[in-house]
């Protein structure tokens, strides 16, 4: 390999991790990332009007987050106050969360499809002072449920123009957000202080609020990064809700600590198309995503010839044997000589449907059937699985690429 190509490869394989000791708190994590790589791409949202993907740098994210802080300061909020948001995954989710954290506020994420009575219970129990909504439709659905919550002093609506009538607390984001914000503020926030309250379903009754500190979340990020390396050149595709601890830690704080970029999927229905347009190197998903892909492949195979079905089965079987040998659990077999052809005819086409660039595909949140795990691993999809709890921020255990047994999790 020419020396200049070796140099480029070394740069692509170099990590730039921010440790717990170097950050300490979530807003300090953003500040350190901006200091290290201000002009690197941080987020890639989709612009529906122009049907294009736009890139935002870390410096731009800090400036935008400072605008949110300027708006929050005008609400007379105090450190320790709780603020909630009900948004799909987007840059604004990050801006709101980091702006609040920098001011010592506690973020309470809400699921966009939750029932009004659940939202009301959470807002009341957490004593939320400010609520950010995405759409006017959300506000119409929630308005009756929250009208008597006296502690809720402000409701912001992101995508609305004339949807705030009838409640003086409601205001559109366009009117509320200042044009300028100055410098992004990282306040005197202790690492062990409360950062967020994440409501998760309990065994009985209403959802329970899990209290997580800055250290809880950043320690979990640091521990997760010890299982496999993440590089600044990596790109995540984010589609699991950020209100879920898995996506928030693994698909938001972890990429920030590693300097990787995050693209936001338009919707689960458009995930297949977005995978091919974004071509991510890292994907965090739940079993149902892999189950759907598996079911569609099986459905298509049912209409193929007997020869095509046998060829596909051979690719999975030989690919699995190849994977087991790479893991040190199987001996070499003459059947492995057929892998290059089977890969080109079968496996590579499946990987191309997932973007063709995946280095890591994480599956968590629920058990994945072992045969489906072996199916994707056999086709060369770099699938690893983990187990976690929101109370653990959330990762408890995870396969590593070098020690990966698909039926050991769940």
pLDDT tens digits for 116-140?
999 999 999 999 999 999 999 999 9
Rounded Cα distance, 242 and 110, in Å: 9
Q: Please identify which residue in the block is written with the tokens 């893991």.
A: 327
Rounded Cα distance, 89 and 267, in Å: 10
Res. 409 pLDDT band, cuts 50 70 90: confident
Res. 7 pLDDT band, cuts 50 70 90: very low
- For position 162, what pLDDT does the model report? 64
> What are the residue ranges of helices labelled H in 126-213?
136-146, 173-176
Res. 218 pLDDT band, cuts 50 70 90: very high
- For position 2, what pLDDT does the model report? 43
- For position 286, what pLDDT does the model report? 95
Sign of CA dihedral 84, 31, 262, 56: positive
Res. 6 pLDDT band, cuts 50 70 90: very low
pTM: 0.94
* 3-state DSSP assignment of residue 275: helix
210 forms beta bridges with 198
Backbone angles phi, psi at 387, to 5 degrees: -125, 140
* Nearest partner of 126 among 211, 189, 57, judged by Cα: 211
Instruction: Name the percent of the chain lying above pLDDT 70.
Output: 95
Within 13 Å and on the Cβ side, how many CA atoms surround 192?
0
Average pLDDT of 208-215?
97
Adjacency order of strands within the sheet including 261-264 = 56-57, 41-44, 261-264, 235-238, 282-285, 360-363, 383-388, 395-398
Rounded Cα distance, 6 and 189, in Å: 43
> Alpha-carbon Rg of the chain, whole angstroms?
23
Average pLDDT of 92-105?
98
Res. 317 pLDDT band, cuts 50 70 90: very high
Q: Which helix (H) or strand (E) holds 406?
A: none
Q: What is the mean pLDDT of the chain?
A: 93
Within 13 Å and on the Cβ side, how many CA atoms surround 56?
21
At 16, list the tokens: 């730039």
CB 288 within 8 A of CB 49: no
Three-state SS annotation for 302-362? HCCCHHHHHHHHHHHHHHHHHHHHHCCCCCCCHHHHHHHHHHHHHHHHHHHHCCCCCCEEE
The interaxial angle of helices 287-302 and 370-378, nearest 10 deg, is 70
* Nearest partner of 279 among 295, 258, 256, 261, judged by Cα: 261
Counts of helices then strands in the chain (DSSP H, E):
17, 17
Phi-psi region of 219 (alpha: psi -120 to 50; beta: other; left: phi over 0): alpha
CB 101 within 8 A of CB 189: yes
* pLDDT(395) > 80: yes
Task: Determine how many CB atoms are found less than 10 A away from the CB of residue 201.
Answer: 11
């Amino acid at each position: 390999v020419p020396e200049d190509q070796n140099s480029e490869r070394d740069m692509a394989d170099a990590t730039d991790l921010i440790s717990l000791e170097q950050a300490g708190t979530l807003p300090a994590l953003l500040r350190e990332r901006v200091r290290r790589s201000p002009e690197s791409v941080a987020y890639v949202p989709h612009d529906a009007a122009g049907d294009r993907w736009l890139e935002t740098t870390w410096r731009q994210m800090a400036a935008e987050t400072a605008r949110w802080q300027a708006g929050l300061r005008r609400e007379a909020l105090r450190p320790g106050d709780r603020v909630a948001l009900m948004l799909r995954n987007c840059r604004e989710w990050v801006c709101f969360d980091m702006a609040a954290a920098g001011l010592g506020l506690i973020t309470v994420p809400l699921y966009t499809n939750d029932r009004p009575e659940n939202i009301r219970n959470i807002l009341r129990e957490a004593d939320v002072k400010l609520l950010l909504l995405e759409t006017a439709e959300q506000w119409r659905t929630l308005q009756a449920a929250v009208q008597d919550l006296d502690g809720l002093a402000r409701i912001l609506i992101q995508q609305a123009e004339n949807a705030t009538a009838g409640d003086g607390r409601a205001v559109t984001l366009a009117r509320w957000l200042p044009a300028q914000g100055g410098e992004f503020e990282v306040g005197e926030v202790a690492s062990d202080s409360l950062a967020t309250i994440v409501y998760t379903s309990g065994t009985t009754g209403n959802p329970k609020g899990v209290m997580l500190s800055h250290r809880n979340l950043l320690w979990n990020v640091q521990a997760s990064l010890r299982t496999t390396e993440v590089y600044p050149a990596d790109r995540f595709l984010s589609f699991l809700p950020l209100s879920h601890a898995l996506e928030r830690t693994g698909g938001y704080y972890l990429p920030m600590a590693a300097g990787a970029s995050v693209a936001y999927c338009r919707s689960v229905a458009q995930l297949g198309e977005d995978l091919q347009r974004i071509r991510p190197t890292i994907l965090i998903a739940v079993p149902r995503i892999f189950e759907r892909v598996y079911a569609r492949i099986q459905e298509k195979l049912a209409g193929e010839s007997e020869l095509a079905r046998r060829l596909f089965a051979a690719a999975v079987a030989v690919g699995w044997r190849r994977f087991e040998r790479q893991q040190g659990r199987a001996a070499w077999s003459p059947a492995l000589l057929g892998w290059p052809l089977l890969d080109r005819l079968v496996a590579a086409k499946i990987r191309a449907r997932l973007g063709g660039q995946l280095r890591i595909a994480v599956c968590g949140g629920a058990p994945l059937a072992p045969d489906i795990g072996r199916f994707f691993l056999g086709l060369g999809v770099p699938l690893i699985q983990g187990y976690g709890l929101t109370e653990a921020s959330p990762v408890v255990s995870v396969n590593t690429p070098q020690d990966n047994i698909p039926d050991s999790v769940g």
